[in-house]
Structure formats: structure tokens, C-alpha cells
Amino acid sequence: MVERDVPTKLVQLGRWFEPLAGVVVAYSGGTDSTLVAAAAARALGDRALAVTAVSPSLPPGELAEARRVAGVIGVRHRAVRTRETEDDAYLANGLDRCYHCKSELYGVLGRVAEDAGTSVVVSGANLDDLGDYRPGLRAAKEHGIRHPLVEVGFTKAEVREAARVLRIPTWDKPASACLSSRIAFGVRISVEELSKVGRAERLLKDLGFAQCRVRVHGDVARVEVEPADLPRLARPGIRGQVVDGLKALGYRYVTLDLEGFRSGSMNPEPPP
């Protein structure tokens, strides 16, 4: 349920930025970080900088889309290289994988902020994220990252409504995530596997499945799409393109998950 005071929270979000001399926004191009970047640009103008991390774990097409949207919302944008895929602790793919990824990201962004003459780096985390499995929030705390959406009190639904109010073109963009989240914890990550997953999901998106995941279980590719899209994906013509495309990438078996898409389906089960 969306609270009725979204306009009030938008005003509060703008005021959150006003006292700052400058800010660096960890900007993936998703709805959350785009709202933060838009609010920062409105309050600070050129003193706001949106930064997108580029690495093999970034899904194909996301950087170009982030650049496009940054232009629409009027925020300065920069892409930087992160090297989590050179960190053995990240590649080991333990339950703390996201911690190592975010530690690398926030370390890089801290240096960008220092070069820009500011010490403030912000993320797009919202209140709903606090209840999910997010080891990256520990890394954020260690690096002094601020979360304006949390501090103002935005839920995910309110973020989307606020983005719609501001006419941000990606207000209804499906949630995305690091490609490593498609690989089961404990299975070592490789750049080659990340590339395969990215190309597999690009194939699905090009066929019109905006919200999709290709989860990897050895030589099995488990495809998740929205439940409403299951009948279309099962049509012989579409199914054949998906099977042929994913097998060409090297997967031996291609399966359709009848539960449909759910965020974090590879996350560990909560304790009873």
C-alpha cells in the first residue's frame, strides 16, 4: 500500500540534500537510485554526481540505459570500473558475496567523492531493503554510506510512486540485480559464467520478457519470468527460440520455473 504523503516525502528528500556541498550517488539505473539521483540533481545541480559501476557482473545494456536516464533527469553521470571479479573472496560466492561486492563499490565511490571534493556517498536503499537478506548493507555501514530513502522513510512502493510523480521514465522498471545472484551460493563464480547468464537474459528480454532471471544449476538453466508470462514462453515458437539460444550458450538443459519470477530465489532459506 502506498502512503498518501509521497509528495511530502519528496519535499523532505529534496531538503535532505540541500545542506550538502556535494554528493556522489551509487547509481545503478534502477528506480531507487534514479529517484535519489534526480532528487540530488534538483537540490544541488552540478554538485550531484551519479556514478555507475561497470564490471562483468553488470547485466548487458544496463550501462547504456543508466546513461540515457541520467540525461533525462539532468544529473551528471560517470561510469567507473570496479574489480570485484578479481577478488577471491567474491568469486568464492559465499553467503557474504554481496558484502565483498559492495565493499569494492563503496571503496571506489569513496575515492570518486574525494576527488570531487565531497565526503558524502549515498545509495538507493529503501525501507523494504532492511528486511531482506542484504549483506551489502554491512559494507555500506563500514564505509559511511548514507541512505536518504531510508532516512526519509520511503518504502519500495512509495519510491515507484514518487518516480512516477516526477515523470522518471523508469518508474516501473523491473528490479535488477548483480548477475552473480543467478549462481547458487557456494558455487565458484567465473567471468565466463557471468557472461553466459547476461547473454541468456538479454535473449529473453529481446523476446519481450522484461522481468526475467536465468538461474544456473551446473549445466541446467532455470528460467524465471513473471507468472503472467508463463503461457507465452511455453508457446512452441517462443520456447524453441529460448531453448536453442540457451543451449547455444552451453547449457545442456533449459527448464521453466513454474513458480515464476521471485526476487532472491537463490538466497538462503530463513531459519525456522
CA distances from 116 to 45, 104, 210 (A): 14, 19, 36
Query: Given this model, what pLDDT does residue 271 score?
Result: 45
Query: Given this model, what pLDDT does residue 267 score?
Result: 66
Torsion over CA of 93, 89, 26 and 72, rounded to 10 degrees?
Answer: -50
Q: What pLDDT band is residue 265 in, cutting at 50, 70 and 90? A: low
**Has residue 185 got a pLDDT over 50?**
yes
Query: Given this model, what pLDDT does residue 135 score?
Result: 86
For the segment 101-115, the average pLDDT, to the nearest whole number, is: 96
Query: Given this model, what pLDDT does residue 269 score?
Result: 57
CA distances from 94 to 34, 140, 163, 237 (A): 29, 18, 34, 38
Query: Given this model, what pLDDT does residue 69 score?
Result: 97
Q: Read off the pTM.
A: 0.90
Query: Given this model, what pLDDT does residue 4 score?
Result: 62
Residue with cell 529473453: 204
- Report residue 3 as a C-alpha cell: 502512503
Q: Which pLDDT tens digit goes with each residue over 199-235?
A: 999 999 999 999 999 999 999 999 999 999 999 999 9
Task: Outline which parts of the chain fall under CATH 3.40.50.620.
Answer: 6-165
Q: Which residue has the higher pLDDT, 28 or 131?
A: 28
Q: What pLDDT band is residue 1 in, cutting at 50, 70 and 90? A: very low
Q: Which pLDDT tens digit goes with each residue over 16-75?
A: 999 999 999 999 999 999 999 999 999 999 999 999 999 999 999 999 999 999 999 999
Query: Given this model, what pLDDT does residue 262 score?
Result: 87
**Has residue 177 got a pLDDT over 90?**
no
Alpha-carbon gap, residue 214 to 171, rounded angstroms: 24
Query: Given this model, what pLDDT does residue 266 score?
Result: 66
Query: Given this model, what pLDDT does residue 268 score?
Result: 57
Taking the chain, what is the end-to-end CA distance rounded to the nearest angstrom?
Answer: 28
Q: Could you tell me the fold of the domain covering 6-165?
A: Rossmann fold (3.40.50)
Distance of CA 222 to the CA centre of its chain: 20
